[in-house]
A and B are shown apart, each in its own frame.
Chain A
Amino acid sequence: MEVNPYVAVGILLLMAYVFFYLPAGYIRHVLIVLLVFIIGYALVMTVSEMPTFGAVDTPAHNVVPERYLGRAPEETGAVNVVTAIITDYRAFDTLGEVVVLFVAIVAALSNLKAR
């Protein structure tokens, strides 16, 4: 289903107006119910356009998992494809996870020890 972008922006502006500026009252309640129905309709339409479970032509079944599953042992030398992905293809992402651990412990220690 195609959505007019002006309509989408208008709905967002209406949401902002209702939530931040409109005083409590009868009109506010009616508009909130209307917005809930519009958003719910959009979500249901989104779900109805998703591919069926296990379909062959799902967009996730493209060239990327074929390459990872088929050529990971020869390209990375690791038999375990999960480890091959997280420490070779996505090693920079794993560096970010290591930094997250470091930041977590720095935050905890600076809160506990700073007295």
Chain B
Amino acid sequence: MKDIVIRTVCRVIVPFVQVYGLYVIFHGHLSPGGGFAGGAILGSSMVLFALSFHLEAGAQKLGHETSSYLESGGGIWYILIGLLGLALGSNFLTNRAAGLGFGLPGQLFSGGMIFLLSLGIGVKVASTMFTLFYNLSEEEGSGGDHQ
């Protein structure tokens, strides 16, 4: 689409959507939301960018390689956080008993590993959405706009 209205509106909207997605991820233990919801918002912002501009422009912002590394890294990050509990002398994926850093409940840096796990889940969901969208739309052979 070469519509200047859509491009201008998306250029304004996309940063706000991404900041909101990061907010939902990072405040997952304080307010409604969490890794899955925030990751979906983050991924859909990238899909919106790639749709309104060009698929190539979206691939320049977040390449295939980077996306697949983020994709695998999110899962590995989750398992590493789980193994951290094992290394601290407790069960797999324990939080309180492993003695991770706890703040006051209700503050941003509290809840031990919940914060880190939400981050991993968010990155994973966002890159999964973007990678699936990109590969499926690339398969069409249209490559975005040919108007």
Contacts and interface: CB of A to CB of B under 8 A. Distances in A.
B112 A76 contact: yes
Interface in B81-140: 82, 92-93, 95-96, 102-103, 105-106, 110-114, 117-118, 120-121, 124-125, 128, 131-132, 135-136, 139
B131 A77 contact: no
A82 B35 CA distance: 12
B58 interface: no
Contacts of A105: 71, 128, 131-132
A95 B74 CA distance: 11
A2 to B, nearest CB: 41
A91 B124 contact: no
B125 A77 contact: no
A3 B45 CA distance: 55
Contacts of B1: none
Chain B interface size range: 35 or more
Interface in A45-91: 73-80, 82-84, 86-88, 91
A89 B121 CA distance: 16
Interface stretch (A22-30, A31-39, A96-104): A96-104
Nearest to B127: A105
A104 B131 CA distance: 11
Contact of B78 (A76, A78, A79, A95): A95
Considering the complex of A and B, which 6 residue pairs feature the smallest CB-CB distances, nearest first?
A: A78-B29, A77-B111, A91-B93, A78-B111, A73-B105, A87-B117
Interface of B: 28-36, 71-72, 74-75, 78-79, 82, 92-93, 95-96, 102-103, 105-106, 110-114, 117-118, 120-121, 124-125, 128, 131-132, 135-136, 139
